[in-house]
Amino acid sequence: MSSVAAQTYLTPQEYITAERKATLKSEYLSGEIVAMSGASHEHNLITMNTATGLYNQLVEQGCRVLASDMRVGISAGDSYFYPDIVVVCEKPRFEDNEFDTLINPIVVVEVLSQSTEAYDKGEKFRRYQQLESLQEYILILQDQVQVERYHRQDKNWVSSEFTSLEDILGLISVEAELSLQQIYRFVEI
């Protein structure tokens, strides 16, 4: 979950050096630092429900499901994000020998709030599309039942929307399914 960008420019290396020492997380967008804010109860429930559902289905396939603290690097330092969930099914590749910046996720999941929705659907998604490994981008609203799936088909991204608790979200790239009922378990909407 992100908030307003600060007006401080840092090089990618300055950002990584500072971030590795920081007690609070921030994202990096072409030189600008984007402070991370805390997450709501609903956001945490949705993240845990989704990550657990994916983990339970994918662990035997050798896929790793990582939640919120795994930094993802894009285009050699152009951007760094902390997605709510990432899935990597190949051997994880990292930007350097610190093994804290993943560069080959196959699925990225973001749980949206009113303050992050435009950023996650817009600029952040445009940056994520630069990842050659990324096959699916999942956006989950926390204040209403709505999940958007973007799936890469050649050079295009095809979107699907799910709006009923009876819907099943199919993740094509990892052959997994999650019911929206599971994603929104315990969430009061």
- Exposed, middle or buried by CB within 10 Å (0-12, 13-18, 19+), for 109? buried
DSSP class of residue 18 equals H
| pLDDT tens per residue, range 144-187 | 999 999 999 999 999 999 999 999 999 999 999 999 999 999 99
Q: Which two tokens stand for residue 19?
A: 């971030």
pLDDT digits (tens, 9 = 90+) for 86-111: 999 999 999 999 999 999 999 999 99
Tokens found for residue 107: 């699925």
